[in-house]
Structure formats: C-alpha cells, structure tokens
Structure 1
C-alpha cells in the first residue's frame, strides 16, 4: 500500500495549483460579484489541458483517471469552486458517453468536447431531483428519430452548452427500466433559460432547459432503450469522488485563510490561535480535511482499478459535503465579525460550500445508499 503520489500526479497537482493561484484566485471575487461566466478562464484551461480532462487520449483528450480528477479538482476548487464547477462540467457530460456510447458516438462527440465544445448533463427536473426514476421528460420513437419533450432544471453550463446529454422516459409506464439517454445538439431546437440566481458558486451558471418536439436521431441514443437509469448510476460512481475532492479544496482554502488570520489577530494580549477555543476549531478542520481527502482518493482509486466503489463514493461525498460546510462555517467564526463581511474570502467560501450537501446526491441520499448497502 502506498499513499504517495506518483511523479506525474505531483506534476498535475502543481500545475493545477499554479493555475488556481494565477488564473482563478485573482478573479474569483469578480465573477462572484458580477455573476459573469468565466470564459477567459475556460479558454486558458483548454490551452493548458485542464478542460474535458477525462476524454481518452484517442479522442483528443488528456485521458485522466478519476484519481487524477480528484487531484485536479481539489486544487481548482481551492481557487474558486464556482469556476472549478464551470470547468469540470464537460467531464460530467463525458461520463455517460464513455460508459454507454458506441464507437461512432465517441468519435463524433468526445472529439468535439475535447476540442472545447461545451456540454451539459441533463437529469434533474422540477419534480425529480433525488428520485431520478421519477423524471417526466419523455422521448417518443417516430421511425428513425425520437421526439423529445420536457423540462430540465438546475442544469449546470446549460446556458453555454452546445451539447446536452439528456435522460428521458422512452416507456412512461416504467420507472427505472423506462429511462434512456440521448446526446442532443442545441441546434436541433433546444431552448435554455436565463441563469438561475443562486446562493453561491456564481461563476457556474445553471438554468432550465426546454425540449419541445426536439427531433433526436435514433443513432444518438446512448445504449439500448431502458438502460439510462443504470448509466446514470454508473455516472455517479465516477462523478462523486471528484466532487468530494472539490469540497476538500474549498475546506482547505477556508482552513488556510482561518489559520493565517488566527496567527495575526490578537486578543487578550496574544494571537487568537493560542486560545483553545480557536485552535481546536482549526485542529478539527485539519483532521477532517485529511480524512476527506483520503476518502475521496480511495473511492477514485477503486473505480480506476476496476473495483465497485458505490459505497466508498457515498462515504466520500457525504463526509466531504458535511465537512466543508462545517469547515467554512467555523472559518467564518474564527474571523468573527469580519468573517460575515464580503471584504474577506471566508464569507464566499461558506456560501459556495452549501451546494456540496445538495448536488450529485444530497447528504441524506448518500446515507440512504450506505444504509441500503449495509442491509444487503
């Protein structure tokens, strides 16, 4: 057993950290306040091989494994998790194509995504979030095409995406077995709403996506009819470890900001880091960040090496989501009144952290998965 990163992984970590330090951190406040989409950062990430990172090399991508994605996401989220989410969404949309796509689909679409075409992953609906099988969007077969109808919501990168991986019912009488997945191009009639206002991660745009009799070629269905739910579950196994790692990055940034402040802020004639009430909060942050990183990387390593990681990925996602919320809240507490001010970064970090307990499976759903596996 070896917990040391390889030389290539260390190079990736250093490259990602330098990018976060030089390209993300300096503009994080700007995008948080203006709610603009970070196109300049996206373009620089593409130039540096940090966009669509899980596209295999044979289709023009960097070909990173899930563990490498964890290393990368931790560093980018340390700079700004909103920008990091915008950068990494292509990787989420790539997963179902890698899992269920034909060779022709991979050649056509993965090469486009690797070249910088933006993609979005469409599962969530107004009436179906955690209950994926409850989605109402449907695709009706008409000869060699499907007519796609429905509404998706909270679709990250939806306003800027050219490609959409859409999950829809092809058999509305079934739940799990009635879902299929499709690759849909915007120009076929997909409509998107304005970016939805959010508590945090303002640089990452989400919106509603509308499908009204959108004609999708049957050749753009991913896998056989009725296999979409299984594909979505496999996607979660690959997406949850990097999301957990991103939460670690946000927590680490909060910890570093709080520690630096505690060393310089004085009270009662001494730096507040000398006070047990403060130093114990920092000690808890340090412990939990390390534990979260290990959980995320273990769940990633298992999947990369062919092992089932559903339960370890749920461990990582639940732990890291709750951990980052507590770490950022405690960081605000260390700063006191200044922590509540937008003049200091921990206020933004706390707002950005909350979403980790919600997207890619809520903390409650993660516990449901763990409990279900324990009962088998």
Structure 2
C-alpha cells in the first residue's frame, strides 16, 4: 500500500525514494534468513552507513545529512516495514550519537564525524539488571584514577552488545540519585569491557541484546560527555529523541502487517467471495488502517515540534505509547485475519507480532510513558 506523504523539500522525497529502493533490494530479501539464523546483518548496516543513513539528523559539517527529524523518522518507518531489527539498529545508533552531538564540546569535532560516518556502530548503556525503569538508581561506578576513569558494574538489555564500536556508559561518579550520574563514551575494545552471552529473545533475533560487564574498564577523562553529574539529564534528553525513533519503527511495522493482511484478505476467498468483502473483516481492517494513520500523524507532529525547537518531551511519550500499542494491536489482528496461516512461519505476520511486543518495552515501557504523561497533566 502506498503511503501519501507531505515532506518539507524535494530532497526529502528523493531521499525516501532512495531508501525505499535500498530497503526493497538490501533488506526485504534477507530478513527471513538472518532472523532464522539469529545473525546480526553488520554488512547491511555498513551499506546503509555508506548511503548516509546513519547520520541523517546530524549537521553536514560533521558528516551528517542535516535532515529534519520529520524526514529521518519516515526513513526509519520504511526500514522497519522491511526489517525491524535494522530500523532499530539505525535508531539505537542515532541515539548513541546524541550525547556527543548535543552535549559534547571539542568532542563534537574530534569524535562525531567518525561516529556518524557510516563505518562505526554505537550502543547506549543505561539500564541495569536491578534497575530498568528506575534509571536514577543505577550502580555502575566510575572512579577517577589520574587521567582516566575506572568503570565497574553491569549494564543490561544492551542492543548491539558485543558488536558495537563504541558505548555510551551512564555511571555514578558522585553520590546517590540523579545528580551523581555522568556519561562516558567508551571504545568497545577497551580492556575490562566484557559483553556477556546474548539473550534468547522472542523477536528481533538478528539483533544481539546482552548484559555488559565493566571490570575496572579504563576510560580517558576526555571521554566524559558534558560535566560530571550531568549524565541523567543527558540520558533523559536522548530518550526523548529515542522514543520518537521507536514510535516510527512501530508505525513501519504496523503498516507492513496491515498491508500483508489486506493483500491476503483480497486474494483469499471463502463462501464465494474475497474475505475483505465480509463486513466484519472489512471493518476490522478499516479500523487498523485508521489507527496506523493516527500513529503516524502523532509521531510526525512530535517530530515537527522537535524540529521547530519547541518542547516535545510529552508529545514524544504520547507518540511512543500510542504507536507501539497500535503496532501490537495491528500485528495481533493481522495474525487473526490470516487465521491458521497467520500462525505459521510461512507468512511474516507471526514475526511481526513477536517483534511488536518489544517496542512496548524499550526506550521506557509504556507504563512509564503513561506516568510521564499523567505527571504533565497534574502539573
């Protein structure tokens, strides 16, 4: 199904056409094989990087494409419609570049060009085994030792663990609570950084997620992003943007599930007519199409606020909440539309359904999004 889009420039239309062609050629034919084998498509990410898709929202003077978030999110949507793990990889990498790009000083010139140049891949280390949603309670500690920090602790649920080239590490350099947290940028080959065995996940099997142990990992002081004690503010600011990325991934996944269900319902006949002509099924698909469009509109409205320099944190939470709940609903109903066929791996809707679940969890669970929105109403 063709999605009608209103974009801010002719260049943006050309970019989305390029991404669609690239996704159809490089992603769609490979997804089943890589998901079945549980292998991360590193070369596919390098291909996207060489096409300039790993630095889309960052400035041209540092090697980015200076695209508005409104456009970047629609790129993610297209990628997610072909291969969610790849779209998530682009989103996580973009999130991983955010601390340096936004809070770095001289680091912007020294580090950012390589980070967004296309060959490197980043990861974001915030969650811990005993502290997921309560990020301010993290216990990973960084202690000054001359010109370095010695980092010790364990991070959990880290996308790109073991394959990333650099890690944003949120750690405690001061006392308890949010004010004692700082952000360090560590090279993946740093001694003492030890990725653990990847988790066995329900979906996104081609995307490695694992704990990372830090055993007196030595990180130079000049890799401190911002000031000491500023890490929690950096983390929350980055997550606002990251939530928009996950919302866009959810829209792309939901659109793919809807398209597949519609095509199946048009071709499959029962009682002498296509399934889609039965009102009960046709109305269901109409509702799903409306929900996908609403999720896209909410996500892009938040992106436009971000692009305009306006507050968008609450709108990002709403977009993440609604888009990912929509993806879960649409993929579940898509399985139902296919009936027994939807439950077997010959059709992708069962994979879409498994993948949708994680989107309600990452970048802040949807319960946390509701908490954020409710608190904003109370204020």
What aligned pairs does 1:223-234 form with structure 2 within 5 A after superposition?
A: 223-234=226-237
Structure 1 stretch displaced more, 145-154 or 336-345: 145-154
Query: 1:66–1:242: 8 Å Cα contact kept in structure 2?
Result: no
Query: Cα offset for 1:42?
Result: 1.3
Q: Does 1:34 align with 2:37?
A: yes
The answer on whether the counterparts of 2:92 and 2:242 sit within 8 Å (CA) in structure 1 is: no
Within-5 A mapping of 1:281-300? 281-300=284-303
Range that drifts further, 312-321 or 138-147: 138-147
Distance 2:70 2:43 in 1: 27
Distance 1:250 1:87 in 2: 15
Distance in 1, Cα, partners of 2:213 & 2:66: 32
* Aligned twin of 2:178: 176
Q: Say if 1:147 and 1:215, in contact at 8 Å, map to a contact too.
A: yes
Choose 283-292 or 211-220, whichever is displaced more. Answer: 211-220
How far 1:87 sits from its partner (Å)? 3.2
For 2:283, the equivalent position in structure 1 comes to: 280
Q: Which runs of 5+ in 1 are unaligned?
A: none
Structure 1 residues 84-233: aligned runs within 5 Å:
84-102=87-105, 104-115=106-117, 116-171=119-174, 173-189=175-191, 190-233=193-236
TM-score between the two structures when normalised by the length of structure 2: 0.95
Classify the secondary structure of the residue corresponding to 1:141. Answer: strand
What do the CA deviations read for 1:162-219 (whole angstroms, capped 9, x no partner)? 2111000112x32111110001112321111232211111121111111111111111
1:224-373 equivalence runs, <5 A: 224-373=227-376
The 8 Å contact of residues 314 and 372 in structure 2, kept in 1 or not, is answered as: yes
TM-score, normalised via structure 1 length: 0.96
Q: Deviations over 1:80-109 (max 9, x none)?
A: 10122123322110011112111x211222
Partner Cα separation in structure 2 for residue 40 and residue 162 of structure 1: 14
Alpha-carbon contact 1:82-1:203 (below 8 Å) kept: yes
Select which of 36, 43, 47 maps to 2:46: 43
In structure 1, distance between residues paired with 2:12 and 2:369: 29
Output aligned runs, 1:32-71, within 5 Å: 32-71=35-74
Question: CA distance change for structure 1 residues 87 and 310 in 2, over 3 Å: closer, same or farther?
Answer: closer
Q: Is 2:257–2:331's contact at 8 Å kept on the other side of the alignment?
A: yes
Contact 1:159 1:194 in 2 (8 A): no
| Structure-to-structure mapping, 1:8-27, within 5 angstroms | 8-27=11-30
What CA distance in whole angstroms lies between the structure 2 residues aligned with 1:249 and 1:26? Answer: 17
SS at match of 2:330: helix
| RMSD, aligned α-carbons | 1.3
Q: 1:74 aligns with which of 74, 77, 80?
A: 77
Residue ranges of structure 2 left out of the alignment (5+ in a row)? none
CA offset at residue 225 of structure 1?
Answer: 1.0
Tell me the secondary structure at the aligned position of residue 155 of structure 2: strand
Shift of 1:307: 0.3
Deviation of 1:250 (Å): 0.3
What secondary structure sits across from 2:30 in the alignment? helix
Structure 1 residue 142, shift from structure 2 partner: 2.4
Matches of 2:218 and 2:71, distance apart in 1: 37
Using the TM superposition, give the Cα deviation of residue 39 of structure 1 relative to its aligned residue in structure 2, in angstroms.
2.0
> Residues of 2 paired with 1:176 and 1:238: CA distance?
20
| Residues paired across the two proteins, number | 372
